[in-house]
């Protein structure tokens, strides 16, 4: 990954993680997952553009689901804690957005490396 691509990926991933955190601040269990999926789909489309490719919204959704699944399997306790924290008044407003950022950042970098490998034919 070039320095320019790295910088673009960092900006895309950080801004999408912040957007997901805002959506996860709403204390409704399950809404955070929907917010994360929409954010990941948008992130996939943006990241693909960094590497000179383009994908459909359906392909972006599929990649988002795969990346989130991979991230959730690596961090199951965080996934459960994020949703359960919303049942405790006040706690969900603090815990869920923070955990969402961590999970989206991890999934975003997984996705960026995968997209780089697919579009350039090489991996880090």
pLDDT at position 78 over 70: no
CA dihedral 72, 75, 76, 82 (to 10 degrees): -90
- What is the residue range of 14's domain? 3-120
Residues 50 and 12: beta-carbon distance below 8 Å: yes
Q: How many domains does the chain have?
A: 1
- Residue % of the chain over a pLDDT of 90: 15
What Cα–Cα distance (Å) separates residue 112 from each residue in 40, 118, 121?
11, 10, 13
Query: What confidence tens digit (pLDDT) does each residue in 6-65 have?
Result: 999 999 999 999 998 888 887 777 777 788 888 888 898 898 889 887 778 788 888 777
pTM for the full predicted model: 0.76
Residues 70 and 80: beta-carbon distance below 8 Å: no
CA 38 to chain centre: 9
């Amino acid at each position: 990954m070039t320095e320019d691509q790295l910088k673009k990926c960092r900006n895309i991933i950080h801004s999408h993680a912040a957007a997901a955190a805002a959506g996860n601040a709403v204390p409704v269990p399950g809404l955070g997952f929907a917010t994360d999926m929409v954010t990941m789909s948008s992130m996939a489309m943006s990241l693909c553009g960094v590497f000179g490719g383009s994908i459909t919204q359906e392909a972006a959704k599929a990649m988002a689901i795969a990346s989130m699944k991979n991230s959730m399997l690596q961090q199951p306790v965080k996934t459960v804690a994020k949703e359960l924290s919303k049942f405790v008044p006040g706690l969900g407003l603090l815990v869920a957005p923070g955990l969402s950022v961590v999970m989206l950042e991890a999934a975003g970098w997984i996705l960026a490396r995968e997209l780089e490998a697919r579009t350039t034919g090489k991996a880090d």
